[in-house]
Amino acid sequence: MERRRNKKIMVWVNGTFDVLHRGHLELLEYASNRGTVRVGIDTDERVKQIKGKERPFNVCEDREYFISRINGVHSVVTFGSDDELCEKIKEWSPDYLIVGSDYKNKNVIGSQFAGEVIYFDRIGDYSTTKILSNESISNR
């Protein structure tokens, strides 16, 4: 759905992006092929609440730096709560909100402020949790 004629198509992606892996890069490449990409990153405090006290592995400042250096990512913001995430999505007013396919049939925060929600299928079984626990990862 192209809501903006003669303007850039706005795309929103968010997540923890703690230890970058192929799945993250393919998601961001997919998003950048659709328009101008803003990435929202969970703050360290939020990651600890969601994933446990041992996380994040990389601090927010470093995660923000890594993501901002990826071709196709135009800007990066951080958020510490569902309300803050929703406000940042509302401000960006994306044409596309791209989330993992594991969010199908779930409430996608901020989806009411996007033209369309696109579900991105996981690439193989890449997972930061698996990487940090030394589990093997298959790209199938």
> pLDDT tens across 25-34, in order?
999 999 999 9
| C-alpha span between 104 and 140 (Å, rounded) | 21
> Where in the chain are the domains?
10-132
For residues 1 and 103, the model is more confident at 103
Beta strands 10-15 and 96-100 are parallel
Strand, helix or coil for residue 74: strand
**Torsions phi, psi of 46, nearest 5?**
-65, -40
* Residue 37 confidence (pLDDT) above 70: yes
Burial of residue 80 (number of CB atoms within 10 Å: 0-12, 13-18, 19+): middle
Question: With bands split at pLDDT 50, 70 and 90, how would you rate the model's confidence at 88?
Answer: very high
| C-alpha span between 35 and 128 (Å, rounded) | 26
Task: Give the model's pLDDT for residue 140.
Answer: 41
Handedness of CA 60, 137, 124, 107 (dihedral sign): negative
| C-alpha span between 65 and 54 (Å, rounded) | 21
For residues 54 and 19, the model is more confident at 54
| C-alpha span between 113 and 87 (Å, rounded) | 9
Q: Does domain 10-132 sit in CATH 1.10.3720.10? A: no
For residues 134 and 67, the model is more confident at 67
For residues 114 and 135, the model is more confident at 114
User: How far, in Å, are 46, 54, 95 from residue 98 at the CA level?
Assistant: 20, 27, 10
CB 12 within 8 A of CB 96: yes
